[in-house]
Amino acid sequence: MKSASYTHPFEPIFDKNSQILILGSFPSVISREAGFYYSHPQNRFYKVLASLFNEQIPKETNGKIEFLLKHKIALYDAALMCEIKGSSDADMRRIIPVNLSPIFDTAKIRQVYANGGKAYEICNKFLKDEILQATGKNVTPLPSTSPRNAKFSLERLIKEYAVILNK
């Protein structure tokens, strides 16, 4: 598979009540095709959050948006544009970071979390000062909810993500 250049295909999810921001790296092929974050059926993102908040896993896009906003979670990705081969974070090149100003200007974000190592790397390389200025805190790394991160069971992911409840 050849590497191709992509621009992030959808808007960030947030409102004035959002208090935490979770940043992924860049949407997978399946998410880009579906038009929403973490749309791969094997991605455990919504399973983890639903478990933390003791709720049903939201299925439809509107349900996912309502779920996130209800729990004061803003969602976006760290890369606005990149060259990528398929969905592999390891193959991301020529990364242009997102502009987080609209989120920080609207919401009172207390903490930013990176979903996976690549998101954390992008945050530290390109967005660190902006995040620190807006929140007074460094981005917190969390393990990827991707099905490629098989070494983390669902239970272990839930335990790691529980930190978002304490901020």
Scan for tokens 């970071």, then name that residue: 97
In angstroms, the CA 87 to CA 146 distance is 10
User: Using one digit for the tens of pLDDT, what is the confidence trace for 24-62?
Assistant: 999 999 999 999 999 999 999 999 999 999 999 999 999
In angstroms, the CA 96 to CA 136 distance is 23
Q: Is residue 158 classed as helix, strand or coil in its secondary structure?
A: helix
In angstroms, the CA 24 to CA 122 distance is 10
Which residues, 6+ apart, have CB-to-CB distance to 36 below 8 Å? 10, 61, 64
Choices 2.60.120.10, 3.90.550.10, 3.40.470.10, 3.30.43.10: CATH for 4-166: 3.40.470.10
Q: Is residue 7 classed as helix, strand or coil in its secondary structure?
A: strand
User: Using one digit for the tens of pLDDT, what is the confidence trace for 91-134?
Assistant: 899 999 999 999 999 999 999 999 999 999 999 999 999 999 99
Bridge partners of 3, per DSSP, are none
Scan for tokens 């070494």, then name that residue: 151
Global confidence as pTM: 0.96
